[in-house]
Structure 1
């Protein structure tokens, strides 16, 4: 290192004026041709490199585009042969021991790839939801504790308990329905996708036949025919993501309805008003299900009367109220009664023997469970017996099984659910 430094010191700067090199002689004809050929060669080489690069980019883009399409299959596409479907079940589980097997068979098993969401109230019947551990998939179960809604003056002017079987429970029902959107939105955010279809129906629905994908209609929000109550049947709804956003926003859209001038609406007319407000077209189709109910109504029904069908009716019943019974009115009786029913109210299709009525002026008749076993079949009857004879140890096992199966569990511990269903056990444990 020191030697190099000493060598650099011995280098002396040049002294005297710098001599300028003489200019180069003019290029001859041959040198011009050589320069031209060299330029064309470089130009050809650059073009070749550019062509190769373009081909590489094109092939690479095609390759990664195909790979992305297969990798991000969760992103919905119009061309997709398997659209993403969400099914949301809402309501109470009072007789889910009777309706559950039919929902599993005709709805959930009909769409085994669908994501299931459940929104229900906590009560002594919640343990019956454990039947859903047999569902193909369970995405989220949300079980809320009893809540009290304080109606505002605006809501009292907007909503009416009359002309609707839902009565004063409208807000509670609306909150359960809108909870579907909350759960679905969480799943979409986590998976970075949007559902193509959302099906919303009730836990107390008894299905006699399968939910058919042919009833999924693009450009329309699909509801059952009949049971309109001056609006639209809201016991089942099928729509794409955007129309379902409106249809399921039952609580949050009430201020919009009020500001639009609507008043004294029941559940069905409020539902119809929501769709109208956002220019969503409804399609009324026929579906093979009914709503199992303990409610009592005047019999025989008049023009504005409420119908309660026998579950043995050939149907389709389109979500009308029903119960297991020996039919009181069918055939010729319905031929006389049917034309008197108002189509804007409780009416459902009765012609061709599709509807058989119970006498709903009384509670469920003695032996109703045996009638159910006969009409529903051996498999459903076995489930009913199993739930009826269930012990608290079995309850814990079943509810724990549902909790493990669900991707998300938003509810009380299974022990609390089973204690509500077995109060005698809870009382003994407190002593």
Structure 2
């Protein structure tokens, strides 16, 4: 009789590396072959192997174990998403943030810092976020203006003066405070912090190529004499500097810097603290209700159609029927100061709205066409929201949040739905 062990060793080496289930099948087959050989001593080794192949296809025995796809390094990183601002048009912007940032990096933790107003109920759309670490919806209070802040900052170009700047800076740095508290509670440090605005509409996902260790990423264009501060992304150390909008003002004062707007103060924060930055085109825009002269020139502000091919890199936008496309765009954009509201327009990336009036009639259909069925569904849901459904949505958001700092669901919904849409 042929030794079954010797027969086994004649198989290719990778047979030996198969999982235990396949090995049991092999051993069972060989045992059967051995039994057959006892009853037929004239059988040759070749006949024995043919018998095995008739029982179990040889290729199925040596099939390799499926190779598991390698995880992108970012999927193993700790990422905080800092979302700040008022929820004015959140039924348009919120679903895009959820779809193209939070669900792209599903292990990221959301931190929301937003002032309470008549639009806050729309934040219920965030209840479907993969992970919510902390939500703070607060009643705004006037921030005392210090002599240092009055020297360093300017009210020029700020719709609400220096107080408006301080409120915005408080939103940003307050979110950083929430992140630090959460880290301390759980004894870890985030690898990355993404900071974006509630009024940002994302036309495409935030790609992994934008995570650049040791440098702080800002959007290209719309510099306003400094750096575009409508979005930021960096590792933890660079982000701490970038998000410390209030606490670094004394440093800017010590450097004898004066009369800075938001963008100029932001650039000064990074340069005085030796933080390198890089500007890249990003697929988002800031949805605005403000009216601007058309056509813009000099220090004017262009407003892009949301249907523009983009990337719009945080430019102002609205849903509109464009009045200036193709060869019309270049002459308009070239009349703007490049270091101010200018944005990249070449290669037909933008179409322009005439934004000197309120949003045009039928803007809902224009938005729905741009956003697609799923994102448009959120707009329609909010437009027809009942008080009961609103309360349920806010309660779900609160339940999903590890920490909640804010009014009751009833208070938030009454403020929004009973004061008129």
TM range (shorter): 0.7 to 0.9
Kindly indicate whether the alpha-carbon contact (under 8 Å) linking 2:81 and 2:111 is maintained by their aligned counterparts in 1: yes
The 3 A distance-change label for structure 1 pair 400 and 80 is closer
Structure 1 segments (4+ residues) deviating >6 Å:
none
1:351-362 to structure 2, matched below 5 A, reads: 351-362=346-357
- For residues 172-196 of structure 1, what are the alpha-carbon distances to aligned partners after superposition, in whole Å with 9 as ceiling and x for unaligned? 0000000111111111112211111
Kindly indicate whether the alpha-carbon contact (under 8 Å) linking 1:291 and 1:319 is maintained by their aligned counterparts in 2: yes
- For residues 278-314 of structure 1, what are the alpha-carbon distances to aligned partners after superposition, in whole Å with 9 as ceiling and x for unaligned? 0111100110000000011111011221111000000
Matched, 1:325 2:339: no
Kindly indicate whether the alpha-carbon contact (under 8 Å) linking 1:253 and 1:274 is maintained by their aligned counterparts in 2: yes
**229-238 vs 301-310, greater mean Cα deviation:** 301-310
Structure 1 match to 2:114:
120
Matched, 1:191 2:181: no
Structure 2 match to 1:150:
144
Cα distance in 1, alignment partners of residues 99 and 417 from structure 2: 28
Kindly indicate whether the alpha-carbon contact (under 8 Å) linking 1:163 and 1:229 is maintained by their aligned counterparts in 2: no
Structure 2 match to 1:97:
91
SS, match of residue 239 in structure 1? strand
- For residues 342-387 of structure 1, what are the alpha-carbon distances to aligned partners after superposition, in whole Å with 9 as ceiling and x for unaligned? 2210011100100111111111111111211121111122111111
Gaps of 5+ in 2: 1-72
Gaps of 5+ in 1: 1-78, 426-431
Cα distance in 1, alignment partners of residues 351 and 134 from structure 2: 37
Structure 2 match to 1:250:
245
Which of 73, 76, 79 is equivalent to 1:85?
A: 79
The 3 A distance-change label for structure 1 pair 167 and 210 is farther
How far the C-alpha of 1:315 sits from its partner, in A, is 0.2
Cα distance in 2, alignment partners of residues 167 and 148 from structure 1: 12
Cα distance in 2, alignment partners of residues 251 and 201 from structure 1: 18
Cα distance in 1, alignment partners of residues 204 and 395 from structure 2: 30
Cα distance in 2, alignment partners of residues 354 and 395 from structure 1: 38
Cα distance in 2, alignment partners of residues 415 and 107 from structure 1: 29
Structure 1 match to 2:49:
none
Kindly indicate whether the alpha-carbon contact (under 8 Å) linking 2:75 and 2:107 is maintained by their aligned counterparts in 1: no
The 3 A distance-change label for structure 1 pair 331 and 164 is farther
SS, match of residue 212 in structure 2? coil
Which of 256, 264, 269 is equivalent to 2:259?
A: 264
Cα distance in 1, alignment partners of residues 417 and 273 from structure 2: 47
**237-246 vs 330-339, greater mean Cα deviation:** 330-339
TM-score, structure 1 as length reference: 0.78
Structure 2 match to 1:288:
283
Aligned alpha-carbon RMSD (Å): 1.5
1:415-430 to structure 2, matched below 5 A, reads: 415-423=410-418
Matched, 1:307 2:332: no
Structure 1 match to 2:269:
274
Structure 2 match to 1:42:
none
Structure 2 match to 1:405:
400
Structure 2 match to 1:136:
130
Could you say which structure has the larger radius of gyration?
Answer: 1
How many residues align? The count is 347
SS, match of residue 157 in structure 1? helix
Structure 2 match to 1:72:
none
Cα distance in 2, alignment partners of residues 415 and 335 from structure 1: 50
Cα distance in 2, alignment partners of residues 394 and 355 from structure 1: 38
- For residues 230-273 of structure 1, what are the alpha-carbon distances to aligned partners after superposition, in whole Å with 9 as ceiling and x for unaligned? 00000000011111111000011111111210100000000000
- For residues 89-108 of structure 1, what are the alpha-carbon distances to aligned partners after superposition, in whole Å with 9 as ceiling and x for unaligned? 00000110110111111111
Cα distance in 1, alignment partners of residues 128 and 75 from structure 2: 26
